[in-house]
Structure 1
Amino acid sequence: MPSLVEWRVDERPPRLWTRLYVAVMWVLRDKRAFTGQEQTVWIVRPRRRRPAARVLYLHGGGYVHPLTPDYWRLVRALTAAPAEVVVPAYPLAPVAHVDDVVPRLVALARSLDDLPLVVMGDSAGGALSLVLAGHLRGAARRPDAVVLLSPWLDATLDEDQVSDLEATDPMLEETGLRAAGRWWSGGRTTTDPDVSPVFGNLDGLPPVDVHVGAHDILRPAVELLAQRADRADDVVLTVHERTAMFHVWMTRFVPEGAQTRRILRDRVRAVARPTEPRHP
């Protein structure tokens, strides 16, 4: 079956509030890293309705940063689908690496079998989401949809445009990302598909939506993903690009973030099954 690749561009300029917010982001740009070995799993449910779908949400942070408050803003929006959102705080590099974490996430995903499932993640979590979809490709219960938010698809950052885009991205720095990618890869190369899923097998994946900003240094690898998906078999890939946006804007307290969160809620709602109100 031929594949379908679609790239949609939203060219609206950023709002004034967003411009001010980004200016503060540059001032507070975070250079710290955190490590950990344990995996805590958070489960967030809607208050007044039974969940009609489930989201397995894999957070970003370059494999070295933990969950931050911004992620819960997105999680709250997703519960309105209504959905249950499962958020694993997976072990981090350099203490842990890909071979420690991916098997845990595969086992977690396979245990989530009673509701339609969307695997979603941002940045490094976006890469993990695509890796996870590949591992679950032949499973009896695979995801119904995969959503990648500003995904870090190529840990090598070898695309020519990366250096030019760094000057426009208030969140990411190329040098630190390269180091984090090496830590995360462990005994693998950084081009291994479990580390850089843009090089993996895309045949037969569930429908994939990618949201990316034009100012994101990770955008070039999304172009490569679209090219490879176009040559793959039986995959539907839709890229949603915001020309004025930066890395992982959809978690931030800006108008464009709220707009994208509503789009993501509706994407989850599209795979949900009918549900009834939750009774006291």
Structure 2
Amino acid sequence: MKKKMVWLGASVLAVAAGIKHQAKKKKQSVSSLMIEQTLKQIPIFPDVRKPKEYQKLLEKSEAGYTLPDYVRSMYNACESKELKNTIVIKPKNKVSQRTIFYLHGGAYWFQPMVAHFRMLSKLAESLEAQIIMPIYPKAPSYHAEDVHKMVAQTYDEMLEKVAVDPAHLTFMGDSAGGGLALSFLQVLKETKKPMPQRAILLSPWLDVTGMNPQIRSLQKKDPMLPNDRLSYCGQVYAGALSTYSPLVSPLFGELSDLPPIDVFVGTHDILYADAKALEEQAKEEQLPIRIWSYRHMNHVFVTYPIPEAKEALTIIKNLILS
């Protein structure tokens, strides 16, 4: 038994040394590499096309969302008194005029995860800002037009009932929420409503068609998002709309006359392809859109407990304060 324990300990040390060497060679943190390797072994994106999985998510989308008690206590989150189906996260002490209107990711099918609340709680504290996060209706029970209706109503009521000043307002969103944030900015421009001072998008899903030819090569590097499953989620979310509609895929919408937009994305994310397409369009049209690319990082890496996320969050904080 003693010999087996010695052998096991030596094996663990050898694996750790190998990971450390590999991380150093790739110039990334050990923790980020360990997370990536874990994600490769434990697929986290379910196949919603399977009847049992679809039925389960159908029932969940009909039932709505309940804020978990541990999130309420750990991250100072609560239901908004003024805004229906909306979560508010505030710093524990001083609250400034700054507000973040946050649209969470989850392929338009899934509710916010603990990683969202952990990151948003940190931002709320460091910025002394309140964070307003609408829990928009989910597919497959609801579709893009339903989601936009709810987000628009929440936004209007936020400006009126919560008296949020657009001059101190930032839009943020990750993954599907990042795409929704850009779509909604286009809606605000078309309807001539007040817009935020800036938008910050984390690994945004900008084109739900999944037709970008660069995705194929990126798929080999991405341990999280299978493009076929993701595209199916997008098709269902689109509902009666075309998947090329700007309300669904904002990459095909009008991008001029929007506030400054900063995009944070990793190169091991299939959505990096669309971020690069956005960057090319921004350069051609001289738009105030900036892409922050992080080598070897995975989907929505900014929510991970890794040094690269800490660096990105520092940049995000400074952008909001600028």
Q: Which deviates more, 200-209 or 44-53?
A: 44-53
User: TM-score, normalised to structure 1's length?
Assistant: 0.87
2:64 aligned with 1:36, yes or no? no
**Aligned match of 1:109:** 155
2:244 aligned with 1:198, yes or no? no
Q: Deviations for 1:144-200, whole angstroms, at most 9, x for unmatched residues?
A: 111111011011111111011112112111110110010010001111111110000
2:194 aligned with 1:141, yes or no? yes
Give the Cα–Cα distance (whole angstroms) in 2 for the partners of residues 74 and 263 of structure 1. Answer: 14
Where does structure 2 lack aligned partners over 5 or more consecutive residues? 1-25, 49-56, 66-84
Q: Is the 8 A contact 1:212 1:219 kept in 2?
A: yes
> How much has 1:208 moved relative to structure 2?
0.6
**Aligned match of 2:30:** 16
Matches within 5 A, 1:226-245: 226-232=279-285, 235-245=287-297
Q: Is the 8 A contact 1:134 1:205 kept in 2?
A: yes
**Aligned match of 2:137:** 91
- Of residues 221, 242, 266, the one that matches 2:318 is 266
User: TM-score, normalised to structure 2's length?
Assistant: 0.76
Q: Which deviates more, 185-194 or 256-265?
A: 256-265
Normalized per residue, the structure richer in strand is: 1
> How much has 1:139 moved relative to structure 2?
3.3
> How much has 1:265 moved relative to structure 2?
2.1
Q: Evaluate the alpha carbon distance shift between residue 170 and residue 159 of structure 1 in structure 2; reply closer, same or farther with a 3 A threshold.
A: same
Normalized per residue, the structure richer in helix is: 2
**Aligned match of 2:108:** 63
CA RMSD across the alignment: 1.7
Give the Cα–Cα distance (whole angstroms) in 2 for the partners of residues 19 and 58 of structure 1. Answer: 27
Q: Deviations for 1:196-222, whole angstroms, at most 9, x for unmatched residues?
A: 100000110011111111111011111
Structure with the bigger RCO (C-alpha within 8 Å, sep 6+) is 1
Matches within 5 A, 1:116-131: 116-131=168-183
Matches within 5 A, 1:214-233: 214-232=267-285
Q: Is the 8 A contact 1:45 1:51 kept in 2?
A: no
Give the Cα–Cα distance (whole angstroms) in 2 for the partners of residues 159 and 199 of structure 1. Answer: 12
Q: Is the 8 A contact 1:211 1:240 kept in 2?
A: yes
Counterpart of 2:196, as a letter, is: P
Seq. identity, %: 29
Give the Cα–Cα distance (whole angstroms) in 1 for the partners of residues 211 and 120 of structure 2. Answer: 32
Give the Cα–Cα distance (whole angstroms) in 2 for the partners of residues 52 and 199 of structure 1. Answer: 34
**Aligned match of 1:164:** 217
2:261 aligned with 1:208, yes or no? yes
Counterpart of 1:269, as a letter, is: L
**Aligned match of 1:154:** 207
Give the Cα–Cα distance (whole angstroms) in 1 for the partners of residues 282 and 45 of structure 2. Answer: 34
**Aligned match of 1:8:** none
Q: Is the 8 A contact 1:41 1:89 kept in 2?
A: yes
Q: Which deviates more, 249-258 or 260-269?
A: 260-269
Give the Cα–Cα distance (whole angstroms) in 2 for the partners of residues 111 and 231 of structure 1. Answer: 36
> How much has 1:25 moved relative to structure 2?
2.0
Higher-Rg member (1/2): 2
Q: Deviations for 1:239-268, whole angstroms, at most 9, x for unmatched residues?
A: 111012111000011121122122222222
Give the Cα–Cα distance (whole angstroms) in 1 for the partners of residues 135 and 232 of structure 2. Answer: 21
Q: Which deviates more, 220-229 or 27-36?
A: 27-36
Counterpart of 1:36, as a letter, is: S
Give the Cα–Cα distance (whole angstroms) in 2 for the partners of residues 85 and 139 of structure 1. Answer: 24
Name the SS of the counterpart of 2:213 in structure 1: coil
Structure 1 stretches (4+) deviating beyond 6 angstroms? none
Q: Is the 8 A contact 1:124 1:152 kept in 2?
A: yes
Give the Cα–Cα distance (whole angstroms) in 2 for the partners of residues 217 and 251 of structure 1. Answer: 17
